[in-house]
Amino acid sequence: MIAVVTDYAPCIALRREVFIEEQGISEPDEIDDLDDQAIHLLATVDGRPVGTARLLIEGEIGKIGRICVLPDRRGTGLGAALVRAGMDHLRQIPGVTQAKLGAQDHAIGFYAKLGFVPIGPFYDDAGIPHQDMIRAL
């Protein structure tokens, strides 16, 4: 189940486990001051938090970010479901016409299958190569 949550502590815990502990991203790079203004999605299986994403609105662009899934749930379609849920939520916000994300280089093909197109050059984000991707909603 994927739901919008106002208590996003479980989302932060998931991001801490995946991004900070697993991928070695520093806490200041991962936990920022945008969480208070973001829309948080939480995926649960049998009540257990297993994935998350956050949405930020910048004019007509809805940014889907901080997408992560616990290792034991990867390959189940949960990551794609989180992105689709994010797009579904963004479609409900007046004036938002595009979804954007910053894809880690190894995940570009994954997001391309969901209709995202790479734009711009690669850039470093917390020591990991990324490329922005965008798609119409």
What CATH number should be reported for the domain holding residue 107? 3.40.630.30
Please report the pLDDT score of residue 62 as a whole number: 98
Q: Average per-residue pLDDT in the chain?
A: 96
Q: How many domains would you assign to the chain?
A: 1
Mean pLDDT, residues 8-16 taken together: 98
Read off the pLDDT of each residue in 64-76 and give the average, rounded to a whole number: 96
Q: Six-digit token pair at 11? A: 């989302």
Q: Which residues are bridge partners to 52 per DSSP? A: 42, 68
pLDDT at 120: 95
Share of the chain above pLDDT 70, in %: 100
Q: Pick the closest to residue 41 from 84, 5, 93 (CA basis).
A: 5
Range of the domain at 46: 2-136
Model pTM score: 0.94
Instruction: Name the helix (H) or strand (E) containing 79.
Output: helix 78-91
pLDDT of residue 41: 98
- Mean of pLDDT values over 43-69: 97
Percent of the chain at pLDDT above 90? Answer: 98
The confidence band for 82, taking pLDDT boundaries of 50, 70 and 90, is very high
Average pLDDT of span 81-100? 98
Burial of 41 from C-beta contacts in 10 A (0-12 / 13-18 / 19+):
buried
Q: What is residue 130's predicted lDDT score, i.e. its pLDDT?
A: 96
